[in-house]
Structures are given as structure tokens and as C-alpha cells.
A and B are shown apart, each in its own frame.
Chain A
Amino acid sequence: MSDVILEARNIHKAYRMGAAQVSVLKGVDLKVNAGEFLAVIGASGSGKSTLLHLFGGLDRADQGSVLFQGKDLTRLGMGGLNRFRNRDAGFVFQFYHLLDELNILENVLVPVMAGCSVGAWLSCRAQARIKAQDLLGRMGLKDRLAHKPYQLSGGERQRVAIARALINDPVLLLADEPTGNLDSATGNSILEVFEQLNRDGQTIVMVTHDARIAHQATRTIQLVDGKIRQGLSEPNLS
């Protein structure tokens, strides 16, 4: 399990706030191995989301590079980047970000539809539906397919979001505080879903500011002052 899927090399990222320049990441080096469940912890505002956005190709670093399976994301064109976001990385957000107008099943199918033309969609629709239903079944939402997001609880919505992130079989699952908006019991159940996925071989990078949750991961790193501190790196240390 030493295949490196994702590698960050000396990433710098700063935001301009009016006249001031706020440096958020100041030289992050990191390797994510295949099959790993990596937890990124850090105080609020320490740059965790920023880092995850760079991993997911949602933003570009000011300096340094992000390599996905050896390819530099910062050098991909728009087309390549969209393909990466669509096929290779799946994103789970703190606030679920489901589309209100679509039902649960349609929400899960969005990444499939996004990646193909009308013709291609018509030919692969049936298959994609079966797959989405299967995923939602695994999330315990078999009977909620036709429901709208607002009819679901927070935990259920997050499960839908996870199913959506997984629909295109991404190599990398990125989660930004997926339990941050949930009570602890529900949060734990979501965490179990991630653990189960990881056990089945899914590579996961999860951001959280909750150190307790981080203990479930195979490896934990901490973002402090824009850099990585390897303090909590061994699992089951507590």
C-alpha cells in the first residue's frame, strides 16, 4: 500500500483581503497513499478547506504543485481539470450541497449526467440508475429515492452526498468536515460509512477540526501555521 495517489509539493496559497495579503498555506508537503484514510485536523481558519480544494482541483495553488497519480493538476487545462473533478475525485461537503430541485436519485446521478452528452446518457442511463440505487441502498436510503433533499434529515442528506461523490468510482474521496453540521450520534454513523468505504479500499482524505474523529483514520496530520505538523501521525495513539 505504498502507491502514492496524491502528492502535494511545497504548496503556497494566499488570499488577498483588500490591501492585506493573508498567507494560508506556507509550504505544505504531503503524500497520500492508495487505500489510506487520511485525516487533516487543525483549528478553524487554519486552511484545511483551502488545502482540500487544491487537492480536488477546485482552486490553484500560488506556488508548488499537486500531483495526482503523477500528473500535475496545476498544468491541466480546463477540460482535463473538469475530467479530473468528474471522474477521479469525489467531494463531500459539510453542508451537503445537494440540489434542491432534484430528488435523491437525480442528485446522485448528477456527476454521471455532467460527464456525458444526451446520446451517451440515454444509452447508459439504465445502468447508472441501477448503480445509484445500489449505492443509495448501501447508505440505507433505498426507500427515499424519489424524495427531495428537504424531506431528509441532515445525516440522510450527507449519505446522499456521499453516494453522489462515489457514483463515478473516484480514486480519491475528499470530505470537508462531513460531520461538522451533525449531532455526534449522527456524525458517528457517517464516520462509520467512511470507515466501511476505507475498509473496502477507498482512499479518503477527510478534513475535520475534531481531534476525536481523527482517531478513526489510519493517519492524521495537523495543519498549524500554514504547515503540516506530523504530531498525531500514528493511529490509535491516544
Chain B
Amino acid sequence: MSDISIIGGGHASGKLVNNLHKLEFKGNINIFSEEEHLPYERPPLSKDFLYGSKKFEDFKIDINLEKVNYYFSTKINKIDFINKIIYDQNNNDYSYDKLVFANGSSPKRIFEENIEGVNYLRTLNDSVKIKSSIEISKDIILLGAGYISLEISSTIKKNYPNKEVTIIDNSEKILLRNSNDDLREFIFKYQKKNNVNFLFNTSFQKLIRNEDGSIKSLILDDNKILACDLLVVGIGVYPNTDILKGTMLEEKNGIKVNEYCETAVKDVFALGDVALSKNNFLNKHIREESWNNAEKQSDILAKNLTGTKTAYDEIPWFWTDQFDQNFQILGEINNFDNKILRNYSENKNTIIYFKNKKIIGAVAVNNGRDISIIRKIIKKNIVPNMEKIQNKDINLKELL
């Protein structure tokens, strides 16, 4: 049986290993991870772990280390697809039979180099560092109004309502990507209610430091000075494809794979945040950057690597938890021709989006049950009865 070598030790990698073991894969598994920790799920890093109500043990992915060769703190720097060899940061070489890219994505940076006091949140270590800084900071600035910043602001305000938290974005609204105006309105309402400050259409031009080198304030584009003792930047992520430069698999927006997680190169696979995957529901290639994508692709790839050819057929789904509210996005929520709001109460809503009379997506606030049902309706290709959908007293389950 061929051996499998995996680059990356994050969510997708950890789950892939466990799924391979469940399917009784008998070959060797080699995992090369830049991090010094076991794989873990990342959502708690901006939520419960940052808040202090979850420990690493609660979200780490347990792997039986006796059954794998785990190379901790090992970054793969170079790949030779022709001779099937990978090289780490110390130029050690490892040959492979089958190679899996599970090396995720990285936060986009505002400065090329690492600058003291400019924080990003991607890893456990980042979260630990930001958590301890929050405790001693008064004026916190989050650059970028994406999901990460909105979750951090929620976590800080829940713990420390009196700390000043300001989110700055150079566009005119929150969540420019992976969102729509309905969701923005819901989320913005909770952020404002909890006294998070927002500054739109601006960015900063300069950092002012104290004598000890720590950040004191930011000078914004309009020359306004904003006090700041903690800066976290969350302006999006990019796929970790730099190691492919100059190879036959060079890709810009992720490593292109089909619905079986296969790349264009034989015996080479990719999944999770780094993969630009064929999504059958949307009929295009997308990079999903979600927990669900990492989780479900690891299941699919394990099957494919053990001989059961299985296609990925998930409808894109993402959740974010902020201020004890759960927001979920399913499917396509932008290119619709009709929408219906099911307003159950002030804090419980579902908006369903249609195209050509069929449901294509939904946004739900504190109503995961509707999302579960709508996912089934879409998968079963049901043309729903509009009268029933419009009547919130009718359980959506009746449409199944």
C-alpha cells in the first residue's frame, strides 16, 4: 500500500488522518506541520478560547501518534513533483508516494515584515498572545471589518464591556466578502448595541510608538489620531501556495482540485483552505475557507485515498458566533431573484433566497433548524410551496 504524506497539520490534516485510520488505511502516514501543536479546530481561537471558556484540550484533534510519523515544527519549503520528493526548512528531503496539500491559508499582512505590536489571528499562539494583550489594553483597534474582527470585538466586549473597541475598514460596510446586506444588517445591529465603534472608508497611515516601542496611537488617513494599545489586523487570508512557485502546480487563488480533491498532478491532492475546489452546487471552483469545508473534504479525500471514489457535494455553509447569537449562511445568498423573510422573533429570523422559484440559499439568525431543513430541500431539488414558506407558523419540515 502507498504511503501518504501530508503537508500541514491543521483541521483538514488532523481529520484526514483520523478518517484514514477509521477506514483502516494500512500504509504509512507522514505529517509535516509548521506548528508545534497537534492539529486543532480554529473557530474557538476568536471565540471561546479567546474568552477563556474553552481550553486547547476541548478543540484539539486527537491523533494516535504511534500510528503516524508526525514531524512537528517542520515547514515544507520545496517540492519536486517529478522525483516525488519534498524538502523542509533545513533542506532535509523526504520522498512520497501520495502527497496531500492541507497547508491552509495565512492572514493577509499590511506590512511585508513582522512589526512589533501588529497582531494577526490564525494560530493557537496568536490567540494566546492576543488574549494576554487584551487583559492589559484599554484602546483596542481591529483593522478590517471581516468575520475575525467582528468575532474578536464580540469576545472582548463580552469579557470587558468597558474597553474601547474600534473596527476600522477602508470600505463603506462590514463583511464585504461572503455576505449580503441582510446579514450585514443583522450583525451590525448586535455590534452597535454592544458599543463597538466603527470607522469606515478609512485606514491608517502611521503608527506612533511609546518610548518602549509599544504602540501608542494610529494616525488615520484623515490625520485624525486614535489612541491604541492593541492592534489586531484581520483583512482576509490568502492560500499558502508560495511553496508551489516555479512548479508544475503553480496556482494563484489556491490549488485547483476536482470534486475528488485531485489536483492536475498524479498522486497529488489538496483540501481545506488551500484548495480551490470544484463545487457542484455552485458549478464553479471556490475557496471556501470554512470549518465545514475542511471537515467534509477530509472525509471525502480519505474515502478516495482508500479506494471508494466519492465526490464532494456539500452546499457551502458557514457560521459565525457573535454576542451569543449564531448566524449561519447556506448556499448562494447574492444572485437571487426573490427572497422571503421568516421573522419568528426579534432575535430569530431566517431569510430564504430563490432563483427561478427554487431555493438557492439562506441566512439564519439563531435558527439552525431552518438551515438543516433548507439544506435538505436544496439537496432533494424540491420546488417549494411559496404559501407555506411565507407562513412562519408552518414548520418548514412540511416541505420535505
Q: Does A pair with B?
A: no
Residues of B that sit less than 8 Å from A by CB? none
